[in-house]
Amino acid sequence: MKNCDIALYGLGVMGSSLAKNMIHHDFRVAAYSKSDAERERFAVPGKEDNYAVCADVREMVASLKTPRIIFMMVTAGPAVDSVIAELLPFLEQGDVLIDGGNSYFKDTARRYEDLESKGICYLGVGVSGGEKGALYGPSMMAGGSRKGWEASRHILQTIAAHCGEDSCCTYISREGAGHYVKMVHNGIEYAVLQLIAETYYVMKHGLHLTHEQITDIFREWKSSRLNSYLIDISVSVLEKMDEDGTPLVEKILDVAAQKGTGRWTLEESIARGVYIPTIFEAVFARNFSSDKEVRKEGYQKLSATAVPGVMDNCAKKLGDAPLLFLIVSYAQGMALIAKASDENGWDIDLADLIGVWRAGCIIRSELLTEVKDSLKENEKNLILTDTFSYIGDLEPALRETVTKAENAAIAVPALASALHYYDYYRSEQMPVNFVQALRDCFGAHTYERTDREGHFHTEWE
């Protein structure tokens, strides 16, 4: 097949779904995978004239119209560099390479610079939505070559999810900006997942609600401002029964894995000095969950004093707590993106970015309309905007939930961190003055005063 619009390299779950999406939108696709099994498995009945499964890279590249556009869906890391090296001998100046995996943004920036010097347009595109999103319309965040974006945007924006008339795919900025934004998106996802899980745990082990009662509460949330993709699939999880008729979720081992984007987000927050405690707690909760044997030993050896009946009458207020922690999760992620944008000169339009997340992606929610409006007011932190002036009304519910959970000896680190985040932002005075005094005492690090300018040192002993 000649004059294909785009090639898709990598026919795993995500790659094959994206290729099928393109084909169903009547783009002509040259599909390729190193795996014989993946090539043999790939088929789109009724659309045979719209694609060719190529036997090798040479055939794939030869099938493309110019400028050639190649979308890579391979495992992040060295595999991406290997594929680029494999493709380069067949490419010409002006051709476009797209990495749609979860690559580290610094790797994407390095590849962008290297390929730019060779005249190849390189895009790092964050793809959110999972297998179904890839097939029916994902959210996509493109970064890298502006020229490459202009050459490929019609295809990308067509196959992306749409919110009304708007495509949920946009150009973020140069270098690794697209993958940076996807990394933080995943950090927000970590936080919301952990917060939902802790809320479920409080309902079950603190309020002692039945599984049916918990499921009903989540169903109610689907019809409220909490409506989101993750709340929606939470209902699906709660409704799923095992073969014996009991809830399947109760039989799932409490050990969670991660693929690296959460850790990268934490490293970035430390490097840039941005406070994202809820994302931190979510990542560390997954890390600690792997120490199952240690937790079993602790359960046997460590005692706790739980206050009987402390969580009575808490259920009615529980709905406001998730709304506040959802707002806080978005606030933390957007604050990190804003700081990175400023320091890298990316000039990211945060309100425009939020529009990309309104459909097709894992963290889409009804609340994003308000988040988008708030970022037009204040890109530094959305919880300080007029749009979210009502969060003070939500605070008592979160505070009561956290306090009662802790008094009941139930660990809710992510919920507590969301409350602490709120409290820190309303703290004109922090206890760090005492830290500064101690640092000056043992290390002569000096300190600043509230009543005069300058740096001071005191002989404390």
The letter for the amino acid at 238 is L
34 labelled catalytic: no
Q: Give the domains, in start order, of the chain with CATH numbers.
A: 6-175 (3.40.50.720), 183-425 (1.10.1040.10), 431-461 (1.20.5.320)
Q: What is the mean pLDDT of the chain?
A: 95
pLDDT band at 377 (very low <50, low <70, confident <90, very high): confident
How far is it, in rounded angstroms, from Cα 255 to Cα 24? Answer: 38
Residue 325 has pLDDT above 90, yes or no: yes
Q: Residue 316's pLDDT is what? A: 60
Q: Residue 2's pLDDT is what? A: 84
According to DSSP, the residues that pair with 170 across neighbouring strands are 141
Stretch 176-200: mean pLDDT: 97
Q: Residue 390's pLDDT is what? A: 95
Residue 44 has pLDDT above 70, yes or no: yes
pLDDT in tens, 203-239: 999 888 999 999 999 999 999 999 999 999 999 999 9
Residue 357 has pLDDT above 70, yes or no: yes
According to DSSP, the residues that pair with 97 across neighbouring strands are 70, 122
pLDDT band at 317 (very low <50, low <70, confident <90, very high): low
Catalytic residue among 20, 38, 175, 182: 182
pLDDT in tens, 401-443: 999 899 889 999 999 999 999 999 999 999 999 999 999 999 9
189 labelled catalytic: yes
Stretch 348-360: mean pLDDT: 95
Q: Residue 314's pLDDT is what? A: 62
Catalytic residue among 38, 175, 189, 281: 189
Closest to 382 measured CA to CA, from 430, 335, 422, 431: 335
pLDDT in tens, 256-301: 977 778 999 999 999 999 999 999 999 999 999 999 999 999 999 9
Predicted TM-score (pTM) of this structure: 0.94
Q: Residue 310's pLDDT is what? A: 61
Which of 314-318, 322-326, 342-346 has the lowest average pLDDT?
314-318
Stretch 38-56: mean pLDDT: 96
pLDDT in tens, 298-316: 999 998 887 776 666 665 6
Instruction: Evaluate whether 330 touches 188 at the Cβ level (below 8 Å).
Output: yes
Stretch 166-188: mean pLDDT: 97
